[in-house]
Structure 1
Amino acid sequence: MKIVITGGPGGGKTTALELFRRELLGKVWIIQESASAIFSSGISRDDNEDILKAIQKTIYYYQKNVEEIHTLQHPNKILLCDRGTLDGLAYWPNSREGFFECINSSFEKELHSYDAVIHFETAAVKGQDITTNNPFRNESNEAAIELDNKLKEIWKAHPNFHVVESKGSFIDKIINGVKTIQAVIDQ
């Protein structure tokens, strides 16, 4: 089973994944966010359209290859992906068609390469703080909401799509997120 954990910046995805990994030690494998790996290599965020496209293409192929490696190395574990291959579409500067042409794939192929999608809504939607420990995440609340909406729109086509809303306290949200992950796994 391969599950995408997605959502806008400051949604609690990484925190929930870490708690869930501890809860089900030995049963799940976490695939870390590819964008953070790319940006930690010295590549900087950039608004130049050609550079942005090259970055998103790199993130896509890195994600795809890492997922394949972990699938082969951990065949008996549930793979929980901190973001999925379609997340790059939310950052792509032009048309959807250009994204799929660049990665030589299709929306349907990417969507159906996952068994479920769980969207953690950004805390910015409720006006909450989205400060993160991730030094590569620097979006404003407005940008986080815009990305969150784009990601929700992209992934909602998946037949096993779930949303963990940003309401109440962060701890309640993380608990609800972990319960959602557990419910998807138990299906």
Structure 2
Amino acid sequence: LHTSLVLCLWTLIGVFGDEVKSVSVMEGHSVTLHTHLTHTHDVIQWRFGVNGPLIASIRRSVNNPTYYNNDKTEIFRDRLKMDSKTGDLTITDVTSQHSGLYQLLTVTSSQDITKIFSLTVNTHTAVSISESTQTPSSSSESSEVHLTRQQSFHSLYKVVMTCVVGFLMTGAVVFIIWINRKSRKTHGQGTQHHCK
């Protein structure tokens, strides 16, 4: 029971331990995911999705970024630039296909650090629809309101998903405790029958 509870809590910490940094960009523009690294790292890796395909990496010994092109990373072909000093990743000419989570892994001799970025790509059509219903003086306000609503929805989605995962993990812990108690009772009853 104790081991099961510790494993469940450890999983929860793993799921919620990394802060997710939200970044928003207009379709067709460039966006840079900043590492904010303060010291030299042996290896820096970027993945599209948590534990997804590797899209870029750099090793201090080589000091030149490597970009990975395969079926899973085709959408990034000729669009990635990685700063060899900071590890910052720039995606150029962004499309809606680039929306999603990006995982940054930094490795030093003493520790590995993982950061998660959530990239939201806003389309021009969404903004132009709201602008067309406004007067010229209020069109920029409308764009800001639309983007704020999208960001609010994205934040709400993250909160809801966090609650759902937390609820499921709590349910799993309760289920494990119930199974453990049931097996103890069954085992205890079997022992009592043998004594008679």
Instruction: Provide the TM-score with structure 2 as the length reference.
Output: 0.24
> Relative to total residues, which structure has the larger helix share, 1 or 2?
1
Greater relative contact order (Cα < 8 A, sep 6+) = 1
Whichever of the two has the greater Rg, that structure is: 2
> Relative to total residues, which structure has the larger strand share, 1 or 2?
2
Instruction: Provide the TM-score with structure 1 as the length reference.
Output: 0.25
